[in-house]
Amino acid sequence: LISNDDVRRGIENDEFVPFFQPLVTLRTGELAGFEVLARWHHPTAGVLSPDRFIPIAEQNGWIDALTKRLMQKAFEAGKLIPEPLTLAFNVSPLQLHDLDLPKRIQSAAEDLGFPLQRIVIEVTESAVVDNVERAQTISNELKALGCKIALDDFGTGYSSLLHLQSLPFDELKVDRSFVGSMIQRRESRKIVAAVVGLGQSLGLTTVAEGIETREQAEMLLWLGCELGQGWLFGRPIPAEDLPTTVEMPR
Ligand code: G
Ligand code: G
Ligand code: G
Ligand code: NA
Ligand code: MN
> Taking the CA of residue 44 as centre, how many other CA atoms within 13 Å lie in the half-sphere pointing to its CB?
3
Predicted TM-score of the model (pTM):
0.90
Tell whether ligand 1 has an atom less than 6 A from the beta carbon of residue 17: yes
Tell whether ligand 1 has an atom less than 6 A from the beta carbon of residue 52: no
Which residues have CB under 8 Å from 176's CB, separation 6+?
A: 208, 209, 210, 230
- Would you tell me how many other CB atoms lie within 10 Å of the CB of residue 248? 9
Which is the closest atom of ligand 1 to the Cα of 47?
A: 4
Which is the closest atom of ligand 3 to the Cα of 232?
A: 19
Protein residue with its CA nearest to atom 18 in ligand 1: 15
245-to-23, 101, 118, 174, 208 alpha-carbon distances in Å: 12, 30, 18, 24, 20
174-to-119, 127, 243 alpha-carbon distances in Å: 19, 17, 29
In angstroms, rounded to a whole number, what is the distance separating the alpha carbons of residues 80 and 116? 16
pLDDT truncated to tens, each residue of the chain (250 aa)? 899 999 999 999 999 999 999 999 999 999 999 999 999 999 999 999 999 999 999 999 999 999 999 999 999 999 999 999 999 999 988 888 889 999 999 999 999 999 999 999 999 876 666 788 898 999 999 999 999 999 999 988 766 787 788 889 999 999 999 999 999 999 999 999 999 999 999 999 999 999 999 999 999 999 999 999 999 999 999 999 999 888 754 4
* Class for the domain spanning 4-245: alpha beta
Q: For residue 209, indicate whether it is catalytic.
A: yes
- Would you tell me how many other CB atoms lie within 10 Å of the CB of residue 53? 24
